[in-house]
Amino acid sequence: MEGIFNIAGVNEAPAVRRVEARDPKAEKPTAAQQQDSVAVSEDARKAAEAVRLVEKSRLAAEIREKKVAEAKENIAQGAYRVNEVVLRVAARISDIVG
């Protein structure tokens, strides 16, 4: 038997079968694929929310401590002069009232 283009020792290619492209979305999932799932219990959701709130409160406490420290420092340095504040507020009120 002679092969491709009459060259001895080279076999003919087997018949090519045409395959239609498949839509992966149209295929049904296998039994194993259908069984895979994750369920989060209500207790786990509550625990995750508690962790989130604790972290949020910790960050808020750090911010508040920083503001309190700044206010104490400003008071110690005399940055809040009561008479000056009263005069500013009085000036604003008189501008509004006329």
6-59: pLDDT as tens digits:
566 666 666 667 777 777 666 776 766 677 778 889 998 999 999 999 888 888
Q: Which residue is it, tokens 């508040």?
A: 64
Q: Tell which residue, 21, 19, 20, 1, has the closest CA to residue 11.
A: 1
Note the pLDDT tens digit of each residue in 50-86. 999 988 888 887 778 888 888 888 888 877 777 887 7
Phi/psi for 13 (5° steps) reads -70, 140
**Tokens representing 37?**
């799932």
Q: Where are the domains of the chain?
A: 40-98
